Amino acid sequence: MNATARLHRSKIRRAMTSTFVTAFAAAILVIYLIPFLYMILTSLKTKQQMTVMGTPIWPAQIPSFTFKGENKGTYTFKVHKGGMLVNQVVDLTSFVDKNMDIFIVPLPNGIKKNLALVVGFQQDAIFLDPKNPSAAPILWSGGYYKALPRPWIFSPTWSNYTYAWQVMKYPRMFLNTLLYTVSTLIGILFSCILVAYGFSRFRFPGRDFWFVVLISTLFLPGAVTLIPTYLFWYKVKMVGTWIPLILPYFFSNPYDTFLLRQFFMTLPRELDEAATMDGAGPFRILWSVILPQSYPAILAVSIFHIVWTWNDYFGPMIYLSTKMDSQPISVALARFNYFYGSDPQYIQAGSLMALIVPLIVFVLAQRFFIQGIVITGVEK
């Protein structure tokens, strides 16, 4: 009986631990996604919504009422203006075909009602009942009318994306970015696979020394090589073209080379020896033995590179500053943000459109990406 009770308590503890860990992970995920959710919600708002007091966090609009002249009377009310109580004449004929904002107004009988604003002052306001526009206007003296709550209705503004799409020339910028990403991805995979294969499978004098030299270039600040590199491309008259951005990726990259080398070293050398006995040469072994087993690492390197080049701003800004039609999304988005800094809804819409491709790639390849990172971390 005691053993059964202990087993039962052990199961309860494991269940509680599992529940706590799951809840904690879910809470961390929610906190992490809050900025992204705010970004989506802001991209669907109007500028008017963000300037009104008491606006909800979700995209919404204030319902309005169009007065059609159901009541063409003239009314006089006592209102406070300039610290004095004066007569205010309201001629409803002057409000025909005008849109009136709706407010939630507390009436003297304790009932709250949606009323359309005719004219407002600092301490008083005159409203119409949208459900009975032929009735006389209602004077409300409860304070400043703009402090009244609004009957917000959910209304996403999808036209923000259309506007950002047209102003940014998104199709053109997307094709530029895709060209930049794909061409450099081909170069980085071609060069890094060959270099990583050489460092992991061949024995030659100074192999470890040269690998350390390659990795040590990771610690070299980009600012040190910026001016000499730019002067070189300027001398060969390549500034203003894609060549300075694409060609260097065909000469390997220390970070990606390191990841691929670590993965290649986890593959048994017996596979190479068996292929050699069958008459396969080094390139045949690479193509038929190494690469088919290395897709997780190759995919991880590809995702790293896609995200990097898709968001690369500094390089294209320097070498394509005079070629606006050749610039990628990152540069076009920065320029768009400069001109529309007072319109956060457009900025967030443009940012989301620039983000969607890397996000889709990461979600689709997440399982292989994580597998590649885990395996390349094995100490060898």
What is the mean pLDDT of each successive set of 10 residues along the chain, which is 380 residues long?
68 79 85 87 87 82 86 87 82 88 87 90 88 89 86 89 91 92 93 90 85 85 85 90 91 88 86 82 85 85 88 89 87 89 89 86 71 51
Residues with Cβ < 8 Å from 41, sequence gap 6 or more? 57, 58, 59
- pLDDT, position 150: 86
CB 300 within 8 A of CB 263: no
Tell me: do 239 and 314 sit in the same domain: yes
Distance from C-alpha of 145 to C-alpha of 121, rounded to nearest angstrom: 7
Is the torsion defined by CA of 98, 103, 107, 113 positive or negative? positive
Rounded Cα gap, residues 149 and 192, in angstroms = 61
Task: Judge if 18 and 87 occupy the same domain.
Answer: no
Residue 308 and residue 188 in contact, taking contact as beta carbons nearer than 8 Å: no
Rounded to whole angstroms, how far apart are CA atoms 56 and 149? 11
Q: Which residues pair with 81 in a beta bridge?
A: 84
Strand order across the beta sheet in which 99-106 lies = 64-66, 99-106, 112-120, 125-128, 138-140
Task: Tell me if 339 is assigned to some domain.
Answer: yes
Q: How many domains does the chain have?
A: 3
144 and 173 within one domain:
no
Asked whether the CA dihedral 296, 299, 305, 307 is positive or negative, the reply is: negative
Q: What are the φ/ψ torsions at residue 63 (nearest 5 degrees)? A: -65, 150
Full residue range of the structural domain in which residue 135 is found: 63-151
pLDDT given for residue 61 in this prediction: 86
Domain CATH number, residue 279: 1.10.3720.10
Task: List C-alpha distances in Å: 72 to 92, 93, 135, 288.
Answer: 5, 5, 10, 88
Query: Is there a contact between 80 and 95 (Cβ–Cβ < 8 Å)?
Result: no
**Same domain as 37, residue 90:** no
Which tokens belong to 329? 């999304």
| 206 lies in the same domain as 341 | yes
Which tokens in the block code for residue 244? Answer: 């300075």
SS3 265: coil
Task: Tell me which residue of 210, 243, 373 sits closest to 303, measured CA to CA.
Answer: 373
Quick check: helix, strand or coil at residue 87?
strand
Alpha-helix runs per DSSP H in the chain = 2-43, 159-167, 170-201, 207-216, 222-235, 243-246, 254-264, 269-277, 282-285, 295-311, 314-319, 329-339, 344-364, 366-376
| Domain identity same for 108 and 11 | no
Q: Are residues 109 and 13 in the same domain?
A: no
- Interhelix angle 170-201/344-364, rounded to 10 degrees, is 40
User: Residues 24-30: contacts with CB within 8 Å, 24+ apart?
Assistant: none
Token pair listed for 106: 């507390």
In a domain, 52, yes or no: no
Asked if residue 162 belongs to a domain, the reply is no
